[in-house]
Amino acid sequence: MSPIATPLAERLRPRILDDYIGQEKLLGKNGSLRRAILQNTIPSMILWGPPGVGKTTLALMLADATKRQFYNLSAINSGVKELREVLARPSGLFPPILFIDEIHRYNKNQQDALLGAVEKGQVTLIGATTENPSFEINSALLSRCQVYILEAFGEDELKALIERALTKDEWLKQKKITFTSYDALLRLSGGDGRKLLNLLELVVLGKGDVEEMEISDDWVTEVAQQNIARYDKSGEQHYDIISAFIKSLRGSDPNGAVYWMARMIVAGEDPSFIARRMLIMASEDIGNANPTAMIMANACMQAVNVIGYPECRIILSQVAIYLATSPKSNASYLAIADAIEAAKNTAHLPVPLHLRNAPTKLMKQIGYGKEYKYSHDFPGNFAKQNFLPDDLKGKKFFEPGVNAREEEIRRKLQQWWPDWYEY
């Protein structure tokens, strides 16, 4: 056993800027965040990146480098009460740093509680998130923060972490460890530095109390299979389960849908992630076969962010069952995919004169907007005319699906465009 109870990733957490591995764009010699640190002018910020890339470490280093007070909250187990307690504490010459891990888990009211303090400079907020801030952070709060994107570790950086562990850690540097290959360690870490170091420690522990050891890819894989959890929010199982969930919705099986949803919930998946995937599915796989599906999914996403877990599981279940039992159509998805492909190949085609905007007298004189038919001046608010570049005239991108709602759409299109649509 390791004589040190603290995990290897924690023991090796860098304390000074020069020991930080990775994120050269931000922290390299000319990095924008490095300059802000050296000038003690760090803004409130959101650190966005995958797990294990050093978001918490960076926040601690920022506080140490700028000699600021540091308050640490986790959005999983704190709320408005804890926020207000921190904000009520006196600060020194510079505003303290308030680090909030997994800030995307705060609902709207909790995020709103931060606005005043951030705007007045009462605290310097550092929020860490693995989710897209555009979706998960209130626009008002987001506008007051600089977003820094942290990238997953590359191969060279992961190898540098291994080398640092073998030479700097008090326990590991006492051993003579050789690797026949780093491939398994690098592959299984998935760019996550914390996972890499914790797996490295398990691999060494698995060899027992010996001073010299050789570690192969087969040994790393065997140890990993014994210790890595079946569901990892950043790993392969994560993508397999969300795939099974979406395919169950698409396949109209509410039982499969709620089962795979439950697997994600039990494993601690972010409910907002589940809701967002359902919103995408409602458009991609249901579309105009049931337009209400997207309204339901959007309402679900908003409700999840306001209510939070555990109550939001009921809303997620309701909407998943609604989507699974809705008629399906991917006609809109196919239409935009086809149109984008055509647009890439025909970007040189001009807009027909009758469709062009004519804000000036000269434009009108050379024919812009000429012979355009204003639909509302005609019976049924429809006037047949060409709305595509001349070389694409008659091209059909949208084909209604076979379901009651889109059959109705098809009948309308057949009346308007009998040459394109048959019924």
Reported as a pLDDT band with limits 50, 70 and 90, residue 235 is low
3-state class (DSSP) for residue 125: strand
pLDDT at 353: 85
Helices (H), 210-330: 217-227, 236-250, 254-266, 271-281, 292-307, 312-324
Does pLDDT of 2 surpass 60?
no
Mean pLDDT of 84-100: 81
Query: pLDDT per residue over 7-51, tens digit each?
Result: 888 888 888 877 888 888 888 888 888 888 888 788 899 999 888
Tell me if 261 sits within 8 A of 247, measured CB to CB: no
- Cis omega (within 30 of 0) on the bond before 310? yes
- Under 8 Å CB-to-CB from 334, ≥6 apart: which residues? 399
Q: How far apart are CA 127 and CA 141, in angstroms?
A: 11
C-alpha distances out from residue 320 to 166, 213, 274, 384, Å: 48, 51, 10, 41
Residue 234 pLDDT > 70:
no
Is the pLDDT at 258 greater than 80? The verdict is: yes
What's the pLDDT tens digit per position in 97-156? 999 998 988 888 888 888 888 888 888 999 999 888 887 888 889 988 999 988 888 889
Whether the CB-CB separation of 385 and 354 falls below 8 Å is answered with: yes
CB of 203 within 8 A of CB of 223?
yes
pLDDT band at 91 (very low <50, low <70, confident <90, very high): low
The type of residue at 114 is: L
Q: pLDDT tens across 369-402, in order?
A: 788 888 898 898 988 888 888 888 888 888 898 8
CA distances from 93 to 31, 36, 37, 64, 157 (A): 26, 17, 16, 15, 37
- Lowest-confidence range among 4-8, 41-45, 183-187? 4-8
Beta strands 212-215 and 176-179 are parallel
Q: Is the pLDDT of residue 279 over 60?
A: yes
d(CA 287, CA 277): 14
Which residues is 172 bridged to in the sheet? none
Task: Decide if 124 contacts 98 (C-beta within 8 A).
Answer: yes
Listed in sequence order, the residues at least 6 apart from 137 whose beta carbon sits closer than 8 Å to its beta carbon are 46, 103, 104, 111, 127, 129, 145
- Main-chain phi, psi angles of 289, to 5 degrees: -65, -30
Nearest to 346 by CA among 386, 391, 387: 391
Helix (H) or strand (E) holding 87: helix 80-87
The closest alpha carbon to 163, from 177, 143, 149, 184, belongs to 177
Q: Does residue 252 surpass a pLDDT of 90?
A: yes
Residue 227's pLDDT is 59
Of the candidates 319, 235, 310, 323, the residue with the CA atom closest to the CA atom of residue 266: 310
User: 77 CB contacts (<8 Å, ≥6 apart)?
Assistant: none
For position 4, what pLDDT does the model report?
58
HEC assignment per residue over 359-374: CCHHHHHCCCCCCCCC
The rounded percent of the chain whose pLDDT value lies above 70 is 94
Residue-level pLDDT at 228: 47
**Average pLDDT across the chain, whole number:** 86
Residue 218 CB neighbour total at 10 angstroms: 11
Q: What is the pLDDT of residue 229?
A: 46
Domains and CATH numbers, the chain: 22-149 (3.40.50.300), 155-227 (1.10.8.60), 236-324 (1.20.272.10), 347-416 (1.10.3710)
**Residue 236, pLDDT above cutoff 50:** yes
pLDDT for residue 365 is more than 90: no
Name the residue among 275, 266, 263 with its Cα closest to residue 312.
Answer: 275
**CA-to-CA distance for 151 and 192, rounded, in angstroms?**
10
